[in-house]
Structure 1
Amino acid sequence: MLIENNPTGTTLQLTLQQRDDWVKYISLAADYDFYHTWHYHAMATNGRPILFVYCEANSFIAMPLLERAIQDTPYYDLHCVYGYSGPVSNLKFTDMSDSLKENFLSAFSAFLYKGSYVSVFSRLHPFFDQNILLQKTDGIYGNGKTVAINLQQSIEEQRKQYRQTTRDSIKKCRKFGYVAVEATAQEDIAAFTKLYQSNMNRISATDFYLFTEEYFTKLVQATEFDCRLILVYSNDDLVCGSIIMCTKGIIEGHLIATNANYLKNSPAKFLVDEISELGRKLKMKYYHLGGGLGFKEDSLFEWKLGFSNMVLDYYSWRFVANKAVYNQLVEKSGNQIHTDVDFFPLYRMIPQ
């Protein structure tokens, strides 16, 4: 743990070795999701996890990130885990004083300078008002929309929002006798892994998304957050399944997969409806379905809109800490600074 004092407060730089401290700060946050946890960061394979913490009086702001070396340079950059992370605090960002926000940004800027970090990329959480903290940095980027189901309304009110096609598919699955069950056995995790990987291969997903049985096992067996594997069966056939995370009132529909032989019956719609009922039993407030592929308003986004009219703005934080070096790296990569391509940092993009 690296501790630094400055005129206004204290900064901590936690690594995975400081598990207890990481867990403590995240658990004390007014809002957080499983994406912020030590356990989820310990599973990351694409960077060295760190938790930057700024403390002042009885308040703190923490930012989990992954550090990567920039090849053939003395520099580094920071990005985030797969999912919605961004900063958290023991205060709501809507209640935070301007001085605390400014002091955090000043301390974070000093941390970036000292660590030779060129840029920072973090997907922000659609529920947490993190923009309020970061809006003066010029790094806020509007990425699109995500869809959520409000579980605080009655199930009848919820289902009134379903599109007719969604309603029909769910009714058809019930008629066929589909059953949703919660699974924890290793054979169930193995079966879901096989189903998920076949889905990813079918859509030619990149290697990053080809999660292994070990990965899913670590998620399902985690103690730091409430992960559940929900599977849908037709007799003995595994029809579809989803890994969901339940954290502080929010269900995240983390990953979902469907048996290609049953796609025509849209069993994933039945699964979402069943999970929304489970969420109520677990006292969850929202079921976050997420956005489209690459957060575009595509067919996946339209599919999710078939369940709810609750649409959230989704942002990412794309901050250039060292503009001169950033520009040099982009030029060296063969890319153009002024491009319309949705990619950050640009120096890591393979030129088209």
Structure 2
Amino acid sequence: MKKTITILEKEEWKNYVRNSLQHDFYHTWYYHSLDTTGLPLLFVYEEGENYIAFPLIKRPISDTPYSDLTSVYGYTGPISNLKFEQLGAVFLRQFRASFLAFLREGQFVSVFSRLHPFFDQHLSIAPMGGIHPNGKTIAIDLRIPLEEQRQKYHKRLREKIRQLKRKGYSVRECSSLGDISTFAAIYTENMKRIGASDYYLFTPSYFSDLHHSDEFNSKLLLVEIEGKAVCGAFIVCTNDIIQAHLLGTMTAYLPDSPAKLLTDEITIIGRRMGAKYFHLGGGLNFRQDSLFEWKACFSDLILDFSSWRYIADPVVYDSLLEELPLDKSADIDFFPLYRYQVPAH
């Protein structure tokens, strides 16, 4: 049986995510409720007690009767109450047939979904084609002793963390409205400095709602020196994976890089929260850039990151491409390509 749950059906969405064997912060109703790019929906296929649930964002394609599906920013993909290998070949085949019928009935031209590096999601969708390697992400293994973890840090990083402590930097776990407002100011200054779009300029209520959601364990951490907060992060722990969802440093303190001390402290707090991994993520747009190298100083645990790029209606997909002034021989890493914004000359 298949069904589609919309973002208005809050408790039903939350139940499917809560009862899954593996999910992350990015699958939650709360995180999808923040999306403004389209209509969040949860496709569900179930037989008896077993199910696969796939969170997606529906977007209409202008001036056509068609739509497409994409995912929220982060690591999503399908989830289930069992490991995908435990569902069996027949169940997975029927899931795919059901999902393809859903695409036909909804006149969806394509599907794009970022997949989760820790989950075996490819078993459910790979036979349809479209799995695309997107680069690497980095995680810190919290299952090993803390000192062994720190021995994996680059030597200069270990010294930098010691230096920050000597200078008087410290990390404090916070929860008051005043602390949330302080972090909001740090984060907003950080986003404006790097020229982020308005999408990343959140209201104070966004941070408060994040802190009080019942779908994951969230904590606010501030790095202080001489009583002044200069860096901070909202961390979220879902199942056994912790990540810094939002992180910012005041411009004047960037040369000291207090985020390095904060990252080390998160691994300690993550252990207390029961996390097995601290997922640092990848570089900007998942390139192996300076941000990737910064993260690689903490760990040698590097994971493959993939996306699913599926063309459900090749005829319509190609017709949409024909309307764009694209160089057909150009190697453009963008999906779906008909949404690519051709640079103005």
Q: Would you call these one fold, judging by a TM-score over 0.5?
A: yes
Aligned twin of 1:6: none
Find the counterpart in structure 2 of residue 22 from structure 1.
13
Aligned to 2:192: 201
Q: Look up the match of 1:56.
A: 47
Amino acid at match of 2:209: K
Deviates more, 1:307-316 or 1:255-264: 255-264
State the distance in 1 between where 2:238 and 2:38 align.
24
Structure 2, unmatched stretches of 5+, are none
Equivalent residue for 2:37?
46
Q: Check if 1:105 corresponds to 2:96.
A: yes
Alignment of 1:131-146 (within 5 A): 131-146=122-137
**CA 1:335 to 1:196, structure 2 compared with 1: closer, same or farther past 3 Å?**
farther
Task: Give me the whole-angstrom Cα distance separating, in 2, the residues matched to 1:339 and 1:88.
Answer: 35
Residues of 1 paired with 2:126 and 2:6: CA distance?
Answer: 27
Tell me, which stretches of 5 or more residues in structure 1 are unaligned? 1-9
Task: Please identify runs of 4+ aligned residues in structure 1 that moved more than 4 A.
Answer: none
Q: CA deviation at 1:213?
A: 2.3
| TM-score, length of structure 1 as denominator length | 0.94
- Mapped to 2, the partners of 1:11 and 1:89 lie a distance apart of 14
Which of 263, 274, 288 is matched with 2:254 structurally?
263
Asked if residue 275 in structure 1 is aligned to residue 260 in structure 2, the reply is no
RMSD: 1.4
| SS class of match (2:231) | strand
Aligned equivalent of 1:314, options 299, 305, 320: 305
The percentage of aligned residue pairs carrying the same residue is 47
Query: In the superposition, relative to structure 1, how do residues 183 and 73 fare at CA in structure 2: closer, same or farther (>3 Å)?
Result: same
Task: Please give the TM-score of this superposition, normalised by the length of structure 2.
Answer: 0.96
Q: Trace 1:119-134 onto structure 2 (pairs within 5 A).
A: 119-134=110-125
Which amino acid in the other structure matches residue 133 of structure 2? G
Cα distance in structure 2, aligned partners of 1:339 and 1:140: 21
List per-residue Cα deviations over 1:249-275 (Å, max 9, x = no partner).
110221211111111111101000001
Deviation for aligned residue 1:209: 2.7
Specify the SS of the correspondent of 1:122. strand
Aligned to 1:3: none
Q: CA deviation at 1:338?
A: 5.1
Q: Over residues 3-35 of structure 1, what are the superposed CA-to-partner deviations in whole Å (9 max), with x where a residue is unaligned?
A: xxxxxxx00111122222211111111100111
Aligned residues: 343
Q: 1:32 to 1:338 in 2, by over 3 A?
A: farther
Deviation at 1:94, TM superposition (A): 2.9
> Counterparts of 2:265 and 2:186 in 1: how far apart (Å)?
19
Instruction: Note if contact 1:77-1:120 (Cα within 8 Å) is conserved in structure 2.
Output: yes
Q: 1:201 to 1:21 in 2, by over 3 A?
A: same
TM-fit CA distance, 1:106: 0.8
TM alignment of 1:329-340, pairs within 5 A: 329-336=320-327, 339-340=330-331
Indicate the larger mover: 209-218 or 221-230: 209-218
Give distance in 2, aligned partners of 1:266 and 1:134: 41
- Once residues 197 and 135 of structure 2 are traced to their aligned partners in structure 1, the CA distance between those partners, rounded to angstroms, is 22
For 2:149, give the aligned amino acid: Q
Aligned twin of 2:318: 327
| TM-fit CA distance, 1:206 | 2.8
